[in-house]
Structure 1
Amino acid sequence: MNALIAASHHTVSASPAQGVQKRAGALSDTPVPPTTDVNTWTRLVFARLSQRYEHSSGSDLLAWAIETFGSGLSIGTGLGASGIVLMDLALAVNPEVDIFYIDTGYFFPETLDLVRRLEDCYQRSLRRVASEISIPAQEKRFGPALYANDPNLCCQVRKVLPLKKALADSTAWVTALRHDQSATRKEVRMVQWNERYNVVKIAPLAYWTEADIWQYIHEKGLPYNTLHDRGYPSIGCWPCTRPVEQGADLRAGRWPGLEKQECGLHWELTEQNLGLAPA
């Protein structure tokens, strides 16, 4: 596994929320065409950046992002194996980088234990983000077992709206998405503009494989969720996650029996009016 390289030497402005396009444009060597609107140019810039880092280890992209966006950068982890690797790589660059996780209120006990072990390991806290609607309030409003009756709405309440809150003051969002995780993730770009959350979305581990992830974890002796050792390759909320047979699709245990494959953090789940105020 390639080691992290030093961060780039480009100057970063004092306010990470300002001049994002200008800094990214300089790094991608893509001038602003006089006849191209800003939105089109922005997509071109980040497409060029994504191509630049496509064949790298991903750690150099992460180092660039941390320096470029400074305190405007937030790393989101779902506390899975890939998220653990992402955290470790990021903390090697900046031990104070913002790292958050979304506590849905339906965590397995093993997941809660992992949070404690990670905070002990790195001697720092992780930013906990949660829905403003408690589970009792959710049950009163939508009925019991929303996760079974309308799992898309449950994910919207417990994950998507909290994510919007988590990224409200962020300029860049770093995720642990990988191409080999599912069919919906095969086209993930390493750098792109995300209009939904109004941030630069970065996926340094896009080209890593499941084997790469576990090799890194074992070589470094990193904490991980013990459910992985009991047939859970992908771990979400306890009502919606099941163990799978060895060799099954990595996300086969998520929402078993349903066509649903994603929680909605990275892709829109539905166009229907969910009856919820914007975050």
Structure 2
Amino acid sequence: MNNDLKEIFQKFIDENLADKPIEKVLGFLTNIFPDKVCFSTSFSFEDQVITDFVRELGIKIFTLDTGRLFEETYNTWNLTRSKYNINIKAYYPNPEELEPFIREKGPDSFYRSVENRKTCCNIRKVHPLKRALKDNKVWITGLRAEHSAARENLSQFEWDESNQIIKYHPILFWTTEQVRDYIKQHQIPYNILHDKGFVSIGCAPCTRAIQPGEDFRAGRWWWEDASKKECGLHVHK
């Protein structure tokens, strides 16, 4: 998006959507971009909250099944489908990329180098995401400012240059307590790993529970330097 379009986009957001309730923003977006609004869920606490908001608005819900998810994540997926009677489209890694990578590097090569890990993330997550976002105009996410220092200065709306799409983070400024309270109040199924010290939950080989006082992202790719702990789904400048 060039600078002129960015200014128009920001002016549009400021005049129409700033400080509006989530329900009104979602309704506005679906009216402006019918059948072009999508939501990506990993079945985290945050994503379960957003599913509760979007489930009856005609917003497409999808997930990225990397093939290495926790069994508890699949259980949450099933419970969510049952509770809301909704379909959640799954996107999978391209076998033509994944099979040669595993054949050459092995199934757990991500432990050996950051380069291998990022390649694995690209194949299993980033490339399927691009297929999922194609032809859509708005991508709804469960990002929160508390997730990491890199996200503290985010706006609820941003332009994703890599995917050429508007991103909306409805609960960006919610606290963990607010998220948990909403889950409890609305009796929303959630991943039970959250009760076992898991905060940010990704692929099973790459995720562990965190200890008291550790950073939110400490449980993801714990063997790497903290500055490298992103998978490429959300690129922040």
TM-score by length of 1: 0.76
Q: Is the 8 Å Cα contact of residues 43 and 192 (structure 1) preserved in structure 2?
A: no
Letter in 1 for 2:172: A
Deviation at 1:66, TM superposition (A): 2.2
Task: Establish whether residue 162 from structure 1 lines up as the match of residue 124 from structure 2.
Answer: no
Deviation at 1:172, TM superposition (A): 1.4
Query: Per-residue CA shift, 1:98-147, capped at 9, x if unaligned?
Result: 00010011100000111111111111210101111275543114333132
Q: Is the 8 Å Cα contact of residues 98 and 123 (structure 2) preserved in structure 1?
A: no
Aligned to 2:233: 265
CA separation of 1:46 and 1:187: change in aligned 2, threshold 3 A: farther
Q: Secondary structure at the match of 1:82?
A: helix
Consecutive unaligned residues in structure 1, runs of 5 or more = 1-37, 269-279
Aligned to 1:122: 84
Q: Is the 8 Å Cα contact of residues 50 and 189 (structure 1) preserved in structure 2?
A: no
Aligned to 1:75: 39
CA separation of 1:140 and 1:182: change in aligned 2, threshold 3 A: same
TM-score by length of 2: 0.89
Q: Secondary structure at the match of 1:192?
A: strand
Letter in 2 for 1:163: L
Deviation at 1:160, TM superposition (A): 0.5
Letter in 2 for 1:208: W
The runs of at least 4 aligned residues of structure 1 exceeding 6 Å deviation read none
Deviation at 1:169, TM superposition (A): 2.0
Q: Is the 8 Å Cα contact of residues 175 and 203 (structure 1) preserved in structure 2?
A: yes
| 1:114-263 pair list within 5 angstroms | 114-133=76-95, 136-149=99-112, 150-259=116-225, 260-263=228-231
Aligned to 1:58: 22
Deviation at 1:248, TM superposition (A): 2.8
Aligned to 2:68: 106
Query: Per-residue CA shift, 1:15-71, capped at 9, x if unaligned?
Result: xxxxxxxxxxxxxxxxxxxxxxx7223211332355454544433322222222110
State the aligned residue count.
230
Letter in 2 for 1:78: S
Q: Is the radius of gyration larger for structure 1 or structure 2?
A: 1
Consecutive unaligned residues in structure 2, runs of 5 or more = none
Q: Secondary structure at the match of 1:62?
A: helix
Q: Is the 8 Å Cα contact of residues 46 and 192 (structure 1) preserved in structure 2?
A: no
Letter in 2 for 1:264: G
What is the alpha-carbon distance in structure 2 between the residues aligned to residue 148 and residue 183 of structure 1? Answer: 24
Per residue, is there more helix in 1 or in 2?
2
Task: Establish whether residue 48 from structure 1 lines up as the match of residue 14 from structure 2.
Answer: no
Cα root mean square deviation, aligned? 2.1
Aligned to 1:17: none
What is the alpha-carbon distance in structure 2 between the residues aligned to residue 50 and residue 258 of structure 1? Answer: 37
CA separation of 1:182 and 1:59: change in aligned 2, threshold 3 A: farther
Task: Percent identity, please.
Answer: 31
